[in-house]
Amino acid sequence: MGEKIGKILFTKEEIERRIRELGEEISRDYARKEPILVCVLKGAVYFAVDLTRSLTIPFILDFISILSYGSSQEDQGVVRILKDLDVNIYGSDVLIIEDIVDTGLTLSYLLRNFQARKPNSLKICTLIDCPGRRIIEVNIAYKGFEIPDSYVVGYGLDYKEKYRNLPYIAVLDD
Amino acid sequence: MGKIKLITMSRDFGTDIDDLIRKLSQEIKGEVLDREKLYAELEKLGISREKIERNGELSKEEKEEFIDLYKEGIRKVVGNYLEKGMVFLLGRGGQFLYQGEDFVFHINVIAPLNYRVKYLCEKYPLSQEKALELIKEKDLQREIYYYSFFFSDWKDPYLYHLVIDKSFFSDREIEELIWKVLEKEEVPVPALEQLSFPTKPTFANESEEEFAKILSFYQIKWEYEPRAFPLEWDSEGQVLESFSPDFYLPDFDLYIELTLQKPKLISEKLRKIRKLEELYPDIKIKLFYGKEYKKLLAKYGIRIG
């Protein structure tokens, strides 16, 4: 694939502004609570860091990493957690931080896994929502932007580990 | 005595099943290996409690080596007691260590949170808040232990032959259940060729098979073309036209139709789907086609067509 960066969908300023708005909304909704924010590695790192900086409530930040289909040359087997949470989410208010929600397959696994740990509440916050590619419906509580069915990179989103550090989000043309 | 020689007991903190097991073990002159007893025996093998509890501080290589040593140690201790009779192994990952072994029975004792809190408050002079705090702490310790030594989740129901909800059964009933296990006689295990296995469906094309693999990877149950929906009938009631979506995901009550054809070539398919939606408004169906479907597969590194 001779890929190249295409149209910029969201500029650095637009992303910053939207994240501030999300931060205010989450701070309002979780007032007097101490949510556990679960950042899904690696793509959501940039978003999670900036989002947490815009929060005005106390919170606990944790990370999780999940094997995704096609990420390994080995026999695929089944999805599994590569790096689990360090904290116990039992009885807590959990907010999953995703970079992008498209098929909903990874997230549906994560939701099932987390539900079994019996948190008090479990919600999703994603920077990008791509509903056109959805296979499994998931309820998204907070979303930054909605995009049509296109492959995007930047601001944590990668193509073969490249482009995560772009300050904007752009379409990847092939 | 039956075929079961070792029972591993996994239990939620606040279900307190240990006294019942000790009583039962005494009756059959068996041995209960709890953490204290096991650790004392492991000390004799040179595996210290301190090292077990502080394994997280070891380097990756040291840890791997120690975990193997620890597991081997448990098996050795349990093996020594098995020579004398029945053994009940309380906790310590017996469900992982002896998974799939035919002389072992795995039990998990669970209870809803409110039961566990109430139980602890009644047994000890604890406030509800303190009891809840203790449960959280112990659950976390347990989670860390299983992940450290077995890289696994003890909540997986497939690890156990029997899961008992302590809030539903009385001690006497639980005792009876365990007696049934102890009395279970040796039964011949059927040979692999005597068992019936599901057959892999014949997929219409490679992309459908790839899609099935993706669903299976994410542990999403699927059925391939499980149902044909009649779309048109003649005056005699004979079905003239029907439509069979490619996949059905029972947990989401969702049908999925896939095609690599371009939009302009799928007008017939779209007509059928529209008709299906009219006739069966409660049916949820999603269509992935052409470039969109290719993009979806490409996301998972699959290039077709």
Chain A: residue whose CA lies nearest to B255 = A135
Query: A24 CA to chain B: closest CA distance, Å?
Result: 30
**B159 contact residues in A (CB cutoff 8 A):** none
The confidence score (pLDDT) of residue B7 equals 92
Mutate to test the interface with A, among B218, B253, B294 (most CBs of A within 10 A): B218
The ipTM estimated for the assembled molecules is 0.88
pTM to 2 decimal places: 0.61
What would the pLDDT profile of B24-47 be if each residue is shown by its tens digit?
888 888 899 988 888 889 888 888
**Full set of structural domains in chain A with CATH:** 12-149 (3.40.50.2020)
Mean pLDDT of chain B: 85
pLDDT of B179-234, one tens digit each?
Answer: 888 887 765 666 766 766 667 788 888 888 888 988 988 889 899 999 999 998 88
End-to-end CA distance of chain B: 62
For strand B229-233 and strand B239-243, is the pairing parallel, antiparallel, or unpaired? antiparallel
Write the DSSP assignment of A97-155 as a string of letters. Answer: EEEEESS-HHHHHHHHHHHTT--SEEEEEEEEE-GGG-SS----SEEEEE--S--EEBT
Q: What is the pLDDT of residue A76?
A: 60
Output the pLDDT for position B188: 61
Task: Answer yes or no: is pLDDT of B265 > 80.
Answer: no
Alpha helices in B202-288 (DSSP H): 206-217, 267-279
Triad B281, B286, B289: Cα angle to 5°: 135
- Write the residue in A90, A103, A133 that is nearest to B139 by C-beta: A90
Nearest residue in chain A measured CA to CA from B288? A133
Residues of A with CB under 8 A from a CB of B: 68-71, 76-79, 84, 87-88, 90-91, 102-103, 105-106, 108-109, 112, 116, 118, 132-137, 149, 151
Banded model confidence at residue B291, pLDDT cuts 50, 70, 90: confident
Answer for the pair A78, B217: CB distance below 8 angstroms, yes or no.
yes
Question: With 0-12 CB in 10 A as exposed, 13-18 as middle and 19+ as buried, what is A92?
Answer: buried
Cβ(B247)–Cβ(B223) below 8 Å: yes
What's the pLDDT score for residue A121? 97
What is the pLDDT averaged over residues B234-242? 84
Q: Give B252's contacts in chain A (Cβ within 8 Å).
A: 136-137
Distance from CA of B296 to the nearest CA of A (A): 7
Whether residue B299 and residue A137 make contact (CB cut-off 8 A), yes or no, is no
Contact B93, B146 (CB under 8 A): yes
Q: Considering only alpha carbons, which residue of chain A is nearest residue B292?
A: A149
d(CA B66, nearest CA chain A) in Å: 21
CA distance A30 to A27: 5
Task: Going residue by residue through chain A, which has 174 residues, state the pLDDT in tens, using 9 for 90 and above.
Answer: 577 899 999 999 999 999 999 999 999 999 999 999 999 999 999 999 999 999 999 999 999 999 888 766 555 667 888 899 999 999 999 999 999 999 999 999 999 999 988 899 999 999 999 998 899 999 999 999 999 888 899 999 998 889 999 999 999 887
